Each structure stands twice: as C-alpha cells, then as structure tokens.
A and B are shown apart, each in its own frame.
Chain A
Amino acid sequence: AQKITQTQPGMFVQEKEAVTLDCTYDTSDQSYGLFWYKQPSSGEMIFLIYQGSYDEQNATEGRYSLNFQKARKSANLVISASQLGDSAMYFCAMREPPTGNQFYFGTGTSLTVIP
C-alpha cells in the first residue's frame, strides 16, 4: 500500500486565491512526521512546512498552513494568496520511526497559478 497518496496530479489556481493540495497517509505508528516540499522546474526540493503527529495545532509558515486531520490521516497543504512563483510541483512526505530520516514521498501535485 502507498504510504503517501496525492490524488491531484494537476491543479490550477487564480493569482491571489487560496488553494488546497490534498495528502493522505498510511501508517500504524503513533509517532511520525509529515512534510511538504516544493519542487520548481529547476529540480531543487524546497522545504515548506512540517507537522508532527503529536502536534495539536496545525502548522503554519507564512502563506503555508497544514490542515492536519489525524483521525482521517490527512495532511492537506493550504497556500493562501497564491503568487505566480508558487507554480511548481508539490510533494507530501512522511517520516516514520524508529530511527533515521527515511522519507516516503507522494507522487506530487503540479500547481499552476494563473495571472
């Protein structure tokens, strides 16, 4: 079974609007971390936001927020006030214990911001 599922291969959003990118995950562990990365066409992966499984509050980083619904095993990324520079691939990822930094990535969502 896929550890991370991103069901939206492509998304379009109007500039200055908000957009939600979906992510669901599968784990039987109680302790895990969820991440979102942005990958522009240049190829470099840019860290956006992190949510720990024990964090009670949704994580926020500037225009990015993570809508964490533990019972539903979802970790959706919300980008507010979209900008043209937000056009990129977005990957959801999960890190599981017990040790190490092995990340499982979803297949990604391609976001296009329309002027």
Chain B
Amino acid sequence: KAGVTQTPRYLIKTRGQQVTLSCSPISGHRSVSWYQQTPGQGLQFLFEYFSETQRNKGNFPGRFSGRQFSNSRSEMNVSTLELGDSALYLCASSSHGQSNEQFFGPGTRLTVL
C-alpha cells in the first residue's frame, strides 16, 4: 500500500506570490490534515478535511485555505506569501473519523524569499 504522497517536495517562492501544495492520502483514507512546522512555532495544525468537508480549522489567517476532492486528495493554498510562511508543510491521512493512527507524508519544504 502506497503511503501519503506530497508534491512538490521543495518549493521556492517570492513574497506576494501564491502557492498550491498537494497531498494524496493513503488509499481508502478519507481524512486529510495539514500542519505547518517551523523552528520557532513547532508543529501547528492548519485544517482537516473529511469527505470533502473542512471539519476543523487551526488559528491561521484566511490566506491559508484548502480543499479536498472526491478521491480524498487534498490541496492547500497560501496566497500573498510572507517570509514567515517559510516552513515544512506536512499532510497526514487517517482512515476514518477519529483514527488511532495518523500517517504523515514527507512534507513540502516551502521557502519564501
């Protein structure tokens, strides 16, 4: 069974641009969560999608948005990039509502110049 995949793995953008990150969960998993990891703030929850609906949302500005498709693949979009958005963005998938396991992808490392 293939694991969680994230594309692209590395990304360099400049301030003011927008970016879209993609996450494909493990086959059969319906829950996809996104996290931002920075040295200063650690791992912070962005949002979770379950069956194409946003179920939980962390404390991030509206520049951060996401969506989930019918095949459970999820995208995360960040508009008007700021230097502080430089981070490792991790996606995690779970099989159902409240899973005892959450499997993470390798992450997308975003650098904003």
Q: Which residues of A contact B104 (CB under 8 A)?
A: 37, 44-47
Cβ of A93 to closest chain B Cβ, rounded Å: 8
Decide yes or no: A35 and B45 within 8 Å by CB, A99-B55, A100-B56, A102-B58 being known contacts: no
User: A104 contacts the other chain (Cβ, under 8 Å)?
Assistant: yes
- State the CA gap A44–B106 with chains docked (Å): 4
Give per-residue flags for B16-44: 1 if the beta carbon is below 8 A from chain A beta carbons, else 0.
00000000000000010101000000111
Number of A-B contacts (CB under 8 A): 69
B contact residues, range: 20 to 34
Contacts of B86 in A (CB 8 A): none
Tell me which of B33, B42, B105, B109 contacts A102 (CB under 8 A). Answer: B33
Q: Is B97 in contact with A99, judged by CB distance below 8 angstroms?
A: yes
In angstroms, Cα B88 to Cα A37, docked, is: 16
* Chain A residues whose C-beta falls within 8 Å of the C-beta of B72 in the assembled complex: none
Contact residues of A between 15 and 41, Cβ < 8 Å to B = 33, 35, 37
- Write out the residue numbers on chain A whose beta carbons fall within 8 Å of the beta carbon of B90: 45
A101 engages B107 (CB within 8 Å) = no
What's the Cα separation between A61 and B35 when bound, in Å? 25
For residue B92, CB closer than 8 A to chain A, the reply is: yes
In the complex, chain A residues whose CB is within 8 Å of the CB of B102: 35, 47, 95, 101, 103
Which A residues lie within 8 Å of B42 (CB)? 105-108
Residue in A closest to B6 when the chains form the complex, CB atoms: A44
Q: Report A-chain residues with C-beta under 8 Å of the C-beta of B35.
A: 103, 105
Interchain CB contact (< 8 A) of B106 among A33, A42, A106 = A42
Cα–Cα, bound, A105→B105 (Å): 16
Residue of B nearest to A45 (CB): B104
Q: What are some 15 contacts across the A-B interface (CB < 8 A)?
A: A43-B109, A44-B106, A45-B104, A97-B98, A99-B97, A99-B98, A100-B98, A101-B31, A101-B48, A101-B97, A101-B98, A102-B45, A102-B58, A103-B33, A103-B92
A residues with a Cβ closer than 8 A to B are 33, 35, 37, 42-47, 50, 52, 91, 93, 95, 97, 99-108
